[in-house]
Chains A and B, each alone.
Chain A
């Protein structure tokens, strides 16, 4: 028995997305990931005495863009506030964030689970600065003899996107996260490099008896940084809550943390121990006034979002499933679109992109972005197959060659002599040899065993090292054997 037999889960997620600006939110330092510790810093992001923040306009542009992509209202008047708490990774011991007047609110995005579609509400999205990173000499802060702080990440712009508690299953949560991350990637808000921690999730979840309308007491698990962690965390947390409820206990409203190694959530602080952040308006920044022209300018330049792209691909003949697979990664979708400009059979292209090319890239741990087979090269290869100059089977060899050498398919085909033999005269001699060497198959075919011809075609292909045009061979054999 699982929790789902008796209870319904209610889940909302806060997502922190690092925005893809070149410079930080309040200073001119680089946002580049990595880099030697404390090299992307200046007096402003180090919070030295006397410094003042200057809001990076590009951050506002991206926040507006994100808001529009999530169907939010963009506030005409918004402001920053200080969230006060002490931690060594926070140079000013307050985080400049947005409290009661966020830049975006009241939006939604659509998910589809098991063929059914559902809107998940977006309560708000606001801009804030990221904190630095503690570097412990030991495993954790409590077991370390000393800790250092790397402030490179301090002041990297974040967008915090808060969903409504609209999700009722782990599948819905994952569908929401996948869709959200895709939208952020497609709209160019973030590069969404999960492995670099550029997207982090706080998951609020509670259980209620099925049929009840009142929400149960929720817990918030902070700082999950992959879909898989979210899934595992929810699986654990829901069972934990169900066990407590089953025994007649009550859930403590608290903040929890996810231990990836142990695969369990642990209590971080109770409601009573919750921080009083003492929010108040940031006096060092003037309020942000956004006029309609600003918003409309960004709306007009909005790139195609995943949902629109999926519909377009379906209209080109792809199945819903294929469209979903292609758009699941922006780099794959971009690759697909570039190749599509040169090669117009979307269905065949999709098969190659999802099949052979994906396989090659995966085997070499390479991304579509860095694919040695360029979209134009793939389109060229598919055109050769379409024109009948090489067979699909030879194509599979050619794509590997392109991958290895970077040469265009025409050159590879020429150099390796892979051009398809479509000359009946050339094939006739080989056909006669195959017929006389395989009298049994010939007899079978002539006795009515239609599929015996497959064997003979195979023999022809083998004899020509795959270069024979299989359609032509088939046709020739049928004509010859029915004489």
Chain B
């Protein structure tokens, strides 16, 4: 049976109707992973034995005529910065190459409770710092649409694994675009929820005030189903918000009639590739044709989002990553004394981009520079939030490109600033703590282009509604890279 193109509903029906056992399904996906991984390399760890053990339990339940949940028995995989008890969690870093957490992240627990079958852990830019997965401490992941190209990042493994049909859904994390940009590059649906909607407990921190976990799926409905399973207040994360969690599938109406959509002009400026702009503009026309009211709007402080982000995120990272010192866990370098052990461990354990950001952040927090950098950045962050508050007084959703270009070639861009610019449309959303979704909006030269929808705080519902209507009336989600069909 072909597994690569199935939705969550498809798979659930197959199991419930007993057309396939969970064990068969799991084996089918594991086989597909083995074949597909020769090209994609999305996985850092495949947990075959554990997966089959869980599958056997689900089969027992089905055999006993017990009802199963919508995600129960369905394969999944997690970005390797989410802690999994007894399973290596490397964060894509050499410094944690052998780290096996003794505890589960809340999302891991929630997916376990939902009965999902974990097939493994996914590649990423080291500590989620990067936009191409080339910064993985182990190997780069390929974009299933063109294996010479990057899948985006930092959740490159999460997006590529779904695009290649290796899992029907995965989780990624998004600090400045790390779910949405790879979703766009890989032609899948990726949601960054409102900050505080999903627990960060057990997500290895990059920048605590920006990080958020979200689902990556083939369809909008799948995305809502996964968010149903992972969202909610967690007493272990005091930054998670006690909010009334709706059933997100209730928003999946094929109707955007009268919806007010703002098009922030700052998201269509310099640096946006004309072909990408064309695709997104066409997508906006589609939404207008479906009855949405479209209007240009402005977020005047957006030009400061990038520098603001590159103060705040590195500042938090410089502190969050201080614990990797070789004392308690992870890689430890040999040295004559304690200080040298610290230094050597970090020098040998971290990659270049991580070191760059630790240095940036350390500098920005240093005595004498704090006011000029960190404090100033926090003030600008407030202005950016206020910009969004203002436009959301008028609009239900904002639409923009997810990234200024489609996927580029592995090794093509080496200037870090040029790579940073790839997140220019996604970063402001993290600074404001808002939800945003990227969904396939078309193709440029055979490469997927993503459209970003931005919502109000806890406005995931309206994002799903808009995305669903667009998806149902376009059908880009049904496209699959040609080679995958051959692999089966």
Contact = CB atoms under 8 A, between A and B. Distances in A.
Interface residues of A, number: 30
A47 B319 CA distance: 12
Interface in B170-201: 200-201
Contacts of B101: 43, 48-50
Nearest to A151: B328
Contact of A50 (B83, B316, B366): B83
A54 B323 contact: no
Contact of B239 (A48, A51, A280, A284): A284
B203 A50 contact: yes
A448 interface: no
B374 interface: yes
A278 interface: yes
A458 B342 CA distance: 79
B236 A54 contact: yes
A52 B319 contact: no
Contacts of A93: 322-323, 325
B237 A50 contact: no
A43 B99 CA distance: 13
Given A86-B342, A276-B367, A278-B366, A51 B201 contact: yes
B319 A50 contact: no
Interface in B226-242: 235-239
Interface in A240-254: none
| Most B Cβ at <10 Å: residue of A52, A53, A285 | A52
Interface residues of B, number: 44
Nearest to A54: B238
Which of A86, A94, A278: most chain B CB closer than 10 A? A278
Main secondary structure of the interface of B (DSSP, over half): loop
A88 B201 CA distance: 24
Contacts of A55: 238
A149 interface: yes
A285 B338 contact: no
Interface in B312-343: 315-316, 318-319, 322-325, 327-329, 338, 342
Interface stretch (B204-212, B399-407, B411-419, B452-460): B204-212
Nearest to B209: A283
B77 interface: no
Contacts of B342: 86
A171 B324 CA distance: 46
B202 A51 contact: yes
Contact of B322 (A94, A149, A276): A94
B420 interface: no
Nearest to B343: A86
B237 A280 contact: no
Contacts of A279: 365, 370
A148 B208 CA distance: 30
Contact of B366 (A52, A53, A147, A276): A276
B239 A286 contact: yes
Contacts of A141: 338
Interface string A94-133: 1000000000000000000000000000000000000000
13 contacts: A43-B102, A49-B91, A50-B89, A50-B105, A50-B203, A55-B238, A91-B328, A93-B323, A141-B338, A278-B365, A280-B365, A280-B370, A284-B205
Interface of A: 43, 46-55, 82, 84, 86, 88, 91-94, 141, 147, 149, 276, 278-280, 283-286
